Structure 1
Amino acid sequence: MKRRMNLRPMPSVCAIIGLVVIGALTGCATSSKSPAVKRESDTGRIAAAKKAPATQRPYKINGIWYYPLASAHGYRQQGIASWYGKDFHGKKTSCGETYNMYGISAAHKTLPMGTHVEVRNMENGNAIRLTINDRGPFVAGRIIDLSYAAAQKIGVARPGTARVVVTAIGTSAPRRTPHRYDTLPDELDRGNFSIQVGAFGDRDKAMKLAQALNQTYKDAQVLPTYSPRNQQTLYRVVVGKCTSLKTAETYENALKSRGFRDAFAIAQ
């Protein structure tokens, strides 16, 4: 399902000059290597993207590209939860199921379909476990869209939104045995994370932004990703090498505060 979001223009690469303070964040490493596109790897990326299930392919909503995670293992994120109801009740979800606002489910922008998560309301401590079966919410600042019934159970329905922590606890897929992650919840913040700053169809534009970022951080990269929908390669600009999702989120917020409003943390 596609929901509306307010878009803000990407600032000029010159805006990056004032970001020196962000480079001091702990947990993010840098290197002296210049950004480069490994063009010889494009063929493999394209082949893998074509074989991926439709729900795992990059997709574009209101001019913004989203890249589903290959795995939910180790995923944990804090942010704002919302809910969706009668306007979508009875319609098809992104995975093909019929949305039931009175059932227990949720929509997420990048977690694989079939991911089991625990959603805990940080304002009252209530928690619920459910399965991701849809894409969304496409509203700035929100990380998960709960079904109406799920929102009711943890106290999100009446206020409309609430601050939550989303933790991946397992996954399942059609014709496969459900798998439960053996990672303890307090360890799920660990991993390899970066922050995506932009995505371009033009390689030169991506390189210019990466080079501007690289003047400050020395770790900006351009990652080519094939889009089956548009049958073209997109060049994603990412920065930061963090070993903690919490640190990556701090890095993301700092970038947003300096004008890069579409920056968001990604798992590598």
Structure 2
Amino acid sequence: MRSILIASGVAVAVLAASAWALAAVAPGDSAKKAGASQAAPGAVTPQADPPRATPSRASRGGTRSPEPTPEPARKTAAPKPKPKKKKPAYRVLRSGSCEASYYWQGQMTASGERFDPSELTAAHKTLPMGSKVRVTNKNNGRSVTVRINDRGPYAGGRCLDLSRAAMKKVGGTGAGVIPVRYQVLKRT
């Protein structure tokens, strides 16, 4: 049994050497190399590499070709910030203090437009329609700029009737009537 194992091991070694020799053969030399390996199974001579015009990357002593550089990541264009709306510059024509109330019922205004409680508008007895007025709550310092589009109020001591949205901006909807400082503005 031992002799069978040794003989089969030698046969495997010879077959492996033959396969290696066939794999190393150049395509044009296959018949010549195949015949040489069959003639002398134990005598396999390695073939030298043909000379190269340019050194390969693995050749010793030469300069290495540079590593391929990865492509830089594409930069996405940052979204351009929207230009901020400039607040128009105003000059104060006159100012005063009084009490202001608010109203929210849908009705026609004295200017002819329909009243919208969500717009920053107000009613005044004498100011021209379309006037801009800065209204500041004396209790908390919050202010809002409103447009005059109606006439009123007709209750004593009050000079402005603000829309619900304007009163909310100055923080007075809970009180109903608040002390205010007002400034009539003119564009410069």
Higher relative CO (CA 8 A, sep ≥ 6), structure 1 or 2? 1
TM-score, normalization: structure 1? Answer: 0.35
Q: Which has the higher strand share?
A: 1
User: Quick check: which has more Rg, 1 or 2?
Assistant: 2
TM-score, normalization: structure 2? Answer: 0.50
